[in-house]
Amino acid sequence: MREFDLLQPKTLNDALEALAQNNATIRPLGGGTDMLVDLRARRVQPDTLVALQGVNELRGVTRANGHLHVGASTTIAEILKNPLFAPFNALRQAASVFANPMIRNSATIAGNIGSASPAGDMLPPLLALNAQIELVSRNETRVMPLSEFFLGPRKTAKRADELISSIQLLVTSNQSPVSNPQSSAFYKLGLRQADAISLVSVAVWLERDGEKIRDVRIALGAVAPRPMRATRAEEILRGQIFSETNLKESARIASTECSPISDLRASADYRRRMIAVYVRRMIEQAWQHF
């Protein structure tokens, strides 16, 4: 590990000030579960780290105006514990197979997003739940859909002087004033059950209207340079009666939308087929859980 300076600001302002001042390589530090591994492997060699742990403004989960505000420093363990996450089944399912219980106690949601790994487990559920991300710097605060945040593997729309301050999830539907039932589901396929790098992962979100799927979002992990939405597969289902035929077709389309790679763990062909299997299974699961 190379040497670096460590800053431990107590306020968001101090943290942002540090980021704005420092033109050398400076990186935020969350729980450190990615950062420390990367530092040791020398994949990143920052001159300065800004530990965000002491910054209270980045903590906490609150519900207001139909939104859940999830502070950047929220750990994966908190997602499993805090009842405010109850409406977001996919997120909780992802958290429950995320690494292992000890890592979950350290790992933060902003760290998972900041790492922007195509296989990051929280990312497909957040995409399926249409999360918004809030970025702050000394001079501005901007909010964007998370789907616009990922530019490529480990590449994001975040500037070096910015921090992820929170994630926002819509609790009720914005499309209809009378909220329809919503449901979501997540699965990751690995070489074993948990704690494994996913071969593929799938998250879906459904809004139901009688026998119809009123709205749907399907997000895929580990099968493209970044976590992605399967928008064409969604089209097949949106506004339609829930049917076996539609489901199969949507699953098939999803498998053509992604662009998985072949590596020694699994072939692209297999990954594609698994996308089809799990898109179908997750939609069935979400539908059953209304």
Ligand X SMILES: Cc1cc2nc3c(=O)[nH]c(=O)nc-3n(C[C@H](O)[C@H](O)[C@H](O)COP(=O)(O)OP(=O)(O)OC[C@H]3O[C@@H](n4cnc5c(N)ncnc54)[C@H](O)[C@@H]3O)c2cc1C
Binding site for ligand X (CB under 6 A): 27-35, 37, 52, 72, 98-99, 103, 106-108, 110-112, 114-115, 120-121, 163-164
Query: Residue 96's CB: how many other CB atoms inside 10 A?
Result: 15
Return the one option of ligand X, other proteins, none that residue 114 interacts with (CB less than 5 to 8 A, by type): ligand X
**Least CB distance to ligand X at residue 8 (A):** 13
Stretch that binds other proteins, among 32-40, 86-94, 149-157, 236-244 (CB under 8 A): 32-40
When asked if residue 264 is in the footprint of other proteins (CB under 8 A), the reply is: yes
Return the one option of ligand X, other proteins, none that residue 8 interacts with (CB less than 5 to 8 A, by type): other proteins
Closer to other proteins by Cβ: residue 106 or 180? 106
Question: What residue type is assigned to position 70 of the chain?
Answer: V
Beta strands at 200-209 and 212-221: parallel, antiparallel or unpaired: antiparallel
* Binding residues with other proteins: total (CB under 8 A): 45
User: Applying CB under 8 A, which of residues 64, 174, 193, 210 lies at the interface with other proteins?
Assistant: 193
When asked if residue 56 is in the footprint of other proteins (CB under 8 A), the reply is: no
When asked if residue 8 is in the footprint of other proteins (CB under 8 A), the reply is: yes
Query: In this structure, are residues 102 and 196 in contact, taking their beta carbons and an 8 Å threshold?
Result: no
221 CB-contact burial (10 Å; exposed 0-12 / middle 13-18 / buried 19+): buried
Q: Which two tokens stand for residue 119?
A: 């296989």
Query: In this structure, are residues 206 and 215 in contact, taking their beta carbons and an 8 Å threshold?
Result: yes
**Least CB distance to other proteins at residue 185 (A):** 15
Query: Residue 14's CB: how many other CB atoms inside 10 A?
Result: 15
Query: In this structure, are residues 46 and 4 in contact, taking their beta carbons and an 8 Å threshold?
Result: yes
Backbone angles phi, psi at 186, to 5 degrees: -140, 145
Closer to other proteins by Cβ: residue 33 or 132? 33
